Amino acid sequence: MKVLLLQDIKGTGNKGQILEVSDGYARNFLLPKKLAKIASKELINQFKQSEERENKLMEQELKANQKKASQIDGEEIEIKVKASATGTLYSAIGSAKIVEEIKKQIKSNIKSEQVVLNKPIKEIGEYKIKIKFGHGLEAELRVIVSQ
Burial of 3 (C-beta count, 10 Å sphere; 0-12/13-18/19+):
buried
pLDDT in tens, 129-143: 999 988 888 999 999
What domains, with CATH codes, occur in the chain?
A: 2-64 (3.40.5.10), 67-145 (3.10.430.100)
The pTM (predicted TM-score) of the whole model is 0.66
**CA 7 – CA 44 distance, rounded (Å):** 14
pLDDT (tens digit per residue) in 86-101 = 999 999 999 999 999 9
Q: What percent of the chain has pLDDT over 90?
A: 67
Q: Does the structure show a pLDDT above 90 at 80?
A: yes
β-bridge mates for residue 20, sequence order: 2
The amino acid that residue 47 corresponds to is F
